[in-house]
Every structure is written in structure tokens, then in C-alpha cells.
Chains A and B, each alone.
Chain A
Amino acid sequence: KAGVTQTPRYLIKTRGQQVTLSCSPISGHRSVSWYQQTPGQGLQFLFEYFSETQRNKGNFPGRFSGRQFSNSRSEMNVSTLELGDSALYLCASSLAPTSGTDTQYFGPGTRLTVL
């Protein structure tokens, strides 16, 4: 079974631009979560989608948004990029929504650099 895939793997943008990242979960998984990883803040939860609905959201500004499609693929969008948005963005999929019983499987991440 193929793992979680994320595209693109690397991205360079300039301040003020917007970016869209894509995540394809493991086949059959309906929950997709997004995380931002930076050296200073570590791994921080962005949001989770299940069956095309945002189930939970972390403490990030409204510039960060996401969506999930009927095939469970998910995208996240960051508008008006800031230097501090430079990070590794990870998505994770699981069979069911995060409830304490399911393992989350992570993709390789998208490395975003904002210049």
C-alpha cells in the first residue's frame, strides 16, 4: 500500500505570495492532519480534516487554510506569506479522526522557504 505523499517536496516563495500544498493520504484513510515544523516552535498542529469537514484547528492565523476533497486528498493554502512561514509542512493520515486509538502516518513533508 502506498504511503502518504506530499507535493511539492520543496518550494521557494517570496513574501506576500501565496502557496498551495497537496497531500494524498494512504488509500482508505479518511482523516488528514497538517503540522508545521520549525526549529523554534517544533511540531505544531494546523488542522485536521475528516470526510471533507474541518474537525479541529490549531492556533494559526486565518492566512492558513485547508480543504479536503471527496477522495480524501487534502490541500493547505497559505496566503500573504511571511518570512516566519518558512518551515517543513507535514501531513498525516489515519483511518479515523484523531481520537487516541489510531496511528497517524506521516508524509515526507514539503519544505517551504520564504525569501
Chain B
Amino acid sequence: SQQGEEDPQALSIQEGENATMNCSYKTSINNLQWYRQNSGRGLVHLILIRSNEREKHSGRLRVTLDTSKKSSSLLITASRAADTASYFCATDAKGAQKLVFGQGTRLTINP
């Protein structure tokens, strides 16, 4: 079963708006990572947040992590058409020695 559950499954917004995606997981983790995948291609690493961090920024991306709620959110500000993709969270559960991916959020940015 998937460790991460993402919400919403699909999101459609206008260019320039902000997009927020959420990820919940079940067990204690070492870190949580976010990846982007353009239609049927490989995954591109976006950001890694460690279990002892609460917030991290990278360009237009902001990731938060709440280990007490076992949840994370990815915020993309000032969205662009090129941000259209599927976004996945991946957790590295303690002792698991592998990444477990959520089902992803399909983000569509409308021009």
C-alpha cells in the first residue's frame, strides 16, 4: 500500500494563481521529497525536507512538513503553464530503506 496519500488528485487553476498540494503519510520518516513528472516522463526532484525541518523554500516552491500530523504541503506560487505536470510526494520511512510514493496530484495551469 502507498505510504503517501495526496490531495487533491487533480487541480486546475489559472496562470498566475498559487497551487497547493497536500501529502499525508502513515509512519515515521527520515525525510519527505517532492517530485514533478511531465506526461509519461521521468521524475524531476524538486525539494527534500528533513524530518527535523518545518519549512523549506526553493524559488517559487514552498514546502511545509508537520510530523505531528504526518502531513506535508507543496505550494507553487505565481504558477506558469510550464508547471503543468503531476506532482508526487515520496517518503523515506525509518528503516524502510526505500522511497514510497503517493499517487500524485495532476496539476493543470490554464493560460
Binding site for B on A (CB under 8 A): 4, 33, 35, 42-45, 48, 55-56, 58, 88, 90, 92, 97-101, 103-109, 111
Q: Which residues of A contact B99 (CB under 8 A)?
A: 33, 45, 98, 104
Q: Which residues of A contact B44 (CB under 8 A)?
A: 106
* Structural contact, B41 and A108, CB atoms closer than 8 A: yes
Does B13 sit within 8 A of A, measured CB to CB?
no
Complexed CA–CA distance, A105 and B104 (Å): 18
* Structural contact, B98 and A33, CB atoms closer than 8 A: yes
Complexed CA–CA distance, A45 and B99 (Å): 7
Contact status of A100 and B31, CB under 8 A, knowing A106-B42, A106-B43: yes
Q: Which residues of B contact A45 (CB under 8 A)?
A: 98-100
- Chain A residue with minimal CB distance to B93? A100
Complexed CA–CA distance, A105 and B46 (Å): 10
| Interface members, chain B 6-61 (any A CB < 8 Å) | 29-31, 33, 35, 40-45, 48, 50-51
Q: Which residues of A contact B102 (CB under 8 A)?
A: 42
* Structural contact, B2 and A100, CB atoms closer than 8 A: no
Given contacts A101-B31, A104-B45, A109-B41, 13 further A-B contacts (CB under 8 A): A33-B99, A43-B104, A45-B100, A56-B97, A98-B99, A99-B92, A100-B29, A100-B50, A100-B92, A106-B45, A107-B42, A108-B41, A109-B42
* Structural contact, A98 and B104, CB atoms closer than 8 A: no
A19 to B: closest C-beta gap in Å:
18
Does B88 sit within 8 A of A, measured CB to CB?
yes
| Interface members, chain B 65-84 (any A CB < 8 Å) | none
- Chain A residue with minimal CB distance to B91? A100
